Amino acid sequence: MKPSVGKLFPKRQLYAMLAPNLLLFIGLTVYPIIWSLRYMLYDYDGIHPAGFIGLDNFIRLFTRDPIYWDSLINTLKYACGKLSLIIPLSFLIAMVLNIRFKGSAVLQAIIFSPTIMSSAVMALMFYLLFNVYNGDINRYLLAAGIIQEPINWLGSSLAMVSVVIVAVWGGIGNYMVYFLAGLQTIPKDIYESAEIDGVTYWQRLFKITIPMLGPVLRVILMLAILAAFQDIQSIMVMTEGGPLGKTQVVFLYLYQLFFPVSTSSPIKPEIGYGAAASVVTGLILGGITVIYLWISKKLDNIY
């Protein structure tokens, strides 16, 4: 093997070129993690000097903070709701658009378009659409006779449904593209020989397409789970976690511990406690990810 080109040059030059990216990575990703690991042991509000309190933050989290655990459950509800709609829908769209026809490229571009807009700004617009008395959604439902009186979309237990609808709107284009890329990796001649053998459409779907998509599907689901955990911009704008914490997801709660700027959260920042809760959340969500990878690996082996 020939030595790589880089070997011919002084290391200093290479490190200098790597440095900008590396420094940003260390400062903005590695350092914050280490920072959280330190401050999780402190009582710190960002104003007064931090005081070491050992594991007190963790005791509080595990014994006296039902809001945290509710927000974690809400996150799982939100993720399940979002994934159970967005994955089948985007798969169906991809299946249809994978057949090239006049206008399929335009449809693809349209359905992808929500993903390029600010989720916060669009959530603001959905906030208007979901309005009880003069929002368009209630207006159409009333006019069509589907409902008899206006629904309080963001102010009742339906709030979770509303934020999930917005999440589906904003994310469907992403997964459509992933599925389209996956579908393109399946060799065409498999379908051709299946067709000659007289295999029906549904048999082809369940015996060829879905199994062949297996590895891609595994990655797509992984990305979808991670994205669902981290979506807070639109929820923050539409409901701020309300009503009564019904849409309070875990990262929004953590955010409010660090930056209690919104109207519904406590006045004093609780940074030490937030760091502890962040570390626990990171471990829990990391655990879910690992379990998912383990289970999906087993599923992969079945095929």
By CB under 8 A, what part of segment 242-261 binds other proteins?
Answer: 251, 254-255, 258-259, 261
CA angle 277, 223, 183 (to 5 degrees): 170
Considering only 41, 164, 232, 235, the residue that binds other proteins (CB under 8 A) is: 232
Which listed range, 54-62, 65-73, 156-164, 219-227, lies at the site for other proteins (CB under 8 A)?
Answer: 219-227
| 129: number of Cβ within 10 Å | 16
As a residue count, the chain comes to: 303
Using CA atoms, how far apart are residues 74 and 80, in angstroms rounded to an integer?
Answer: 10
Which listed range, 51-59, 65-73, 152-160, 233-241, lies at the site for other proteins (CB under 8 A)?
Answer: 233-241
- Any contact of residue 182 with other proteins (CB under 8 A)? yes
Using CA atoms, how far apart are residues 29 and 174, in angstroms rounded to an integer?
Answer: 25
C-beta closer to other proteins: residue 30 or 59? 30
- Any contact of residue 303 with other proteins (CB under 8 A)? no
C-beta closer to other proteins: residue 118 or 193? 118
Q: Which residue has the tokens 């945290």?
A: 68
Site for other proteins in 132-171 (CB under 8 A): 133-136, 139, 169
- Any contact of residue 91 with other proteins (CB under 8 A)? no
- Any contact of residue 121 with other proteins (CB under 8 A)? yes
Give CA 109 to chain center in angstroms: 22
Inter-CA distances, 132 with 43, 90, 216, 269, 270, Å: 42, 29, 41, 33, 35
C-beta closer to other proteins: residue 83 or 172? 172
Contact status, residue 223 vs residue 290, Cβ threshold 8 Å:
no
